[in-house]
A and B are shown apart, each in its own frame.
Chain A
Amino acid sequence: MIRRLFGLLSGTVIFLLFLFPTNIVAQDEVAGDSLSGSESAMDTLLLKEKTPQPPFNIVAEDVDNDAGEAIKLSWDLSPDDFQDGNVKEYVVLRSESAEGTYDTLGNTTQGIKSFIDNKVEIGKKYFYKIAALNYEKVNYVYLWNANSESAVAGPVVATAQWFNTGRIWVLLTILFISGAIIYFIWGAKSGKSFYIRKIAGIDEVENAVGRATEMGRSIYYVPGIHDMDDVQTLASMSILGRVSKMAAQNDTRIDVPVSRSLVMVTAREIVKESYSKVGRPDSFQDEQVRYLTDDQFGYAAAIDGLFVREKPATIFLIGAFFAESLIMAETGNSIGAIQIAGTAMPAQLPFFVAACDYTLIGEELFAASAYLSREPKLLGSLKGQDMGKALFLIVIVLGIILQFFDVEMWRLFEVR
């Protein structure tokens, strides 16, 4: 009787195994770990119960707007994919022919419905299957595992695009702003004059330098803690060019302690040039522009030490600053120096406003170079910038109005 029942059960299992595309495999084939467990028919039956149903509706498609380096797979979850259900993972399998051998490409956890294959070659055909996997493991050793594979999806071919259509609005905006800037620079070159509003901080630069000369003390110029790849540092270098020229004219020492090696090289070149231009190349010493440390607070500590020991009459804090801004500015304030600060770091502006005499806020920093030189082509670029601002204002106002009518205009400008 028992033997018959066992035979019936075994027969049913074999029948079911043929009926469903289900594999019960050694773990080595799935994730490379060892599988320990019995292979008897009873165990097989237990495993059968634990075998998840495969995911379905597998879609494989080329990823848009890329260099032909990815194929996106998406699927509908296996019916057994729920909390404490039979699905633990999905294993992505790939082959170069529909009937060929499928290699494991990667895996995702349960509940995830997509995977990006980024190990593809342009122009090659790929076929995919997704296997739902269930297992039990103790201390990284699989006690058992079971999986079932989906139908084949594909063939799909990865292609490269010549233009990222998701960024069309960025391109148009950039073209508009750049066009406006170039147009006004052109206008300036042909003799058109532009009005620029007064920027108190920059107007005071000359007085601040003069004060140091009168007091016979030095000027400190701190160009922030970012490297030359930050436009704020570049803007700061432009201002340094003007400030160091004024200092050289007055024969007042200017010290530029920096926190980045590349900034040191650039700043040294700029200050040296300024000294040469006013006919005092011998007054410049290399150690006026020196590197201190890349470390943010190490730099702040060194600067504080220099301020306290050398008591400069004038301090410029112009560039990109983070939390060290107030530490430096307050120390500068405590020694009674006149301080002109400038940064485009919004979070540091209140600190500078509180502790310094004058502050260049945000874009004033970028305008400073043009303002100081009064060069028409630089002033023209500021005018172009204003056109960009006008464009943004129009779009913002339009967006607000349309939002009242439940039209989500921002979706139009979504960047991908």
Chain B
Amino acid sequence: MKTKEFIVTAIIIVVLLLCKFVLPKPIQFSPTISWIVTILLGLVFAFIFYLTIKGKPVERRIVFLLVGISLVVPFFMQFKLPLKISPEVQQVYDKLASLPPGSKVLASFDYDPPSAPELQPMAEAFVKYAFEHDIKIIMMGLWPQGPQQANQAVEAAFEENPALRDQVKYGVDYVNLGFQSGNEFVVLRMGESFKSMFPSDLNYTPYDSIPLLKNVSNFSNIDWSINFSAGKPGTVEWIQVAVDRYNLPMSAGNTAVQAPMVYPYLNAGQLLGLMGGMSGAAEFEKLTNLPGKATTFLLSQTFAHVVVILFIIIGNVAFLRSRKETK
């Protein structure tokens, strides 16, 4: 490692340690400080705008630094943001809320930790809501890391509402079937028999010994399903196999990158609602009245979106200006 890189890494570690042990917790800016920081950020952009117009576009690392600042600083700010519910998220919630107590829901966790910042808040809000309303959850994953994400969502629900730990019983109110390799073939086989793909659950309990699964043999015994997906295999494969061939009623939560791809299925009625990215998660949290991480992080996302838009505008103004000059 070069000396320069070593020094930078050391500085970052020291700053992080300071944040961890020295700074007061929680760190929160007053509204005035928040406004001042926002205005300062605005001024920096004005300067970049000036430089770009002068034909001196800023370096890539300055762009990265500004994005970093705009993502981190809002964590400490106290702006309250109004949140409007989009129709597709409302549809997911309406479907969930219409389920009578005792309904069986199949939840497939088809993602891994990288996508967790977007999908985990949805999963946590869903699990909490289901537990509080006596909705039974059958969890599984087409991604190896999915079942572990499901466990984390359950743990988060218990931490948030400790009373649930006694009320909700594993095997009776929820079960984690684990991961099975084979992508859409797993879904295809589940259409005939869940047991053929999951002979036991994550804790090695045989399928037939799990009370919740006593009367569940395939999709026809499922009242509704939800899929948290970050790619393939994911929502598209579930729609093509489980929804198309077995008429499984399904809603989904997707990463923002993947969501546009799923819209055609939503409009065709094959998908009953969609939560897209962090904003979808925040809307769902608002609807379920269980504010969580997505609501907290939405301010960061707002700042980041504005920063990207500003960069696009600056880049384009400079481009149009240079084109005019060459003409």
A-to-B contact residues, CB < 8 Å: 32, 69-70, 88-89, 105-112, 115-116, 118-119, 140, 225-227, 229-230, 295-297, 320, 322-323, 334, 345-348, 415-416
Chain B window 206-237, contacts with chain A (Cβ cutoff 8 Å), 1 for yes, 0 for no: 00000100110110110100000011100000
Interface hit among B26-34, B148-156, B252-260: B252-260
Interface hit among B3-11, B73-81, B97-105, B280-288: B97-105
Bound together, the chains give a CA A392 to CA B214 distance in angstroms of 46
Chain B window 104-130, contacts with chain A (Cβ cutoff 8 Å), 1 for yes, 0 for no: 000000001011000000000000000
Q: Within 8 Å of chain A (Cβ to Cβ): is B261?
A: yes
Bound together, the chains give a CA A109 to CA B230 distance in angstroms of 32
Q: Within 8 Å of chain A (Cβ to Cβ): is B200?
A: no
8 A–B contacts from the bound complex (CB under 8 Å): A69-B192, A109-B99, A109-B101, A118-B192, A229-B183, A320-B232, A347-B258, A348-B257
With contact pairs A118-B220, A345-B261, A347-B258 given, residues A111 and B100 touching in the complex (Cβ less than 8 Å): yes
Assess whether A295 is in contact with B112, with CB atoms less than 8 Å apart. yes
A-B pairs with the 4 shortest C-beta distances?
Answer: A116-B220, A106-B215, A109-B100, A322-B231
- Nearest A residue (CB) for B221: A106
Assess whether B169 is in contact with A140, with CB atoms less than 8 Å apart. yes
Bound together, the chains give a CA A131 to CA B130 distance in angstroms of 26
B192 neighbours in A (Cβ, 8 Å): 69, 118
Bound together, the chains give a CA A297 to CA B100 distance in angstroms of 40
- Nearest B residue (CB) for A298: B114
A416 neighbours in B (Cβ, 8 Å): 247
Bound together, the chains give a CA A106 to CA B255 distance in angstroms of 36
Q: Within 8 Å of chain A (Cβ to Cβ): is B324?
A: no
How many residues of chain B are within 8 Å of chain A by beta carbon?
A: 31
B214 neighbours in A (Cβ, 8 Å): 32
A415 neighbours in B (Cβ, 8 Å): 244
Q: Within 8 Å of chain A (Cβ to Cβ): is B327?
A: no
Assess whether A347 is in contact with B260, with CB atoms less than 8 Å apart. yes
Assess whether B258 is in contact with A296, with CB atoms less than 8 Å apart. no
With contact pairs A106-B221, A230-B232, A320-B232 given, residues A89 and B102 touching in the complex (Cβ less than 8 Å): yes
Bound together, the chains give a CA A118 to CA B191 distance in angstroms of 11
Assess whether A296 is in contact with B114, with CB atoms less than 8 Å apart. yes
Bound together, the chains give a CA A346 to CA B217 distance in angstroms of 36
Assess whether B60 is in contact with A334, with CB atoms less than 8 Å apart. yes
Bound together, the chains give a CA A179 to CA B232 distance in angstroms of 31
B247 neighbours in A (Cβ, 8 Å): 416
Assess whether A112 is in contact with B261, with CB atoms less than 8 Å apart. no
- Nearest A residue (CB) for B100: A109
A118 neighbours in B (Cβ, 8 Å): 192, 217-218, 220-221
With contact pairs A105-B215, A116-B221, A347-B260 given, residues A323 and B100 touching in the complex (Cβ less than 8 Å): no
Assess whether A109 is in contact with B102, with CB atoms less than 8 Å apart. yes
- Nearest A residue (CB) for B115: A323
Residues 277-322 (chain B) with a chain A CB within 8 angstroms: none
- Nearest B residue (CB) for A92: B215
- Nearest B residue (CB) for A107: B215
Bound together, the chains give a CA A323 to CA B220 distance in angstroms of 34
Bound together, the chains give a CA A112 to CA B220 distance in angstroms of 12
Q: How far in angstroms is the closest Cβ of chain B from A37?
A: 21
A106 neighbours in B (Cβ, 8 Å): 215, 221
Bound together, the chains give a CA A110 to CA B99 distance in angstroms of 10
Pick the contact of A347: B60, B114, B244, B261 (CB < 8 A). Answer: B261
Pick the contact of B102: A88, A115, A226, A322 (CB < 8 A). Answer: A88
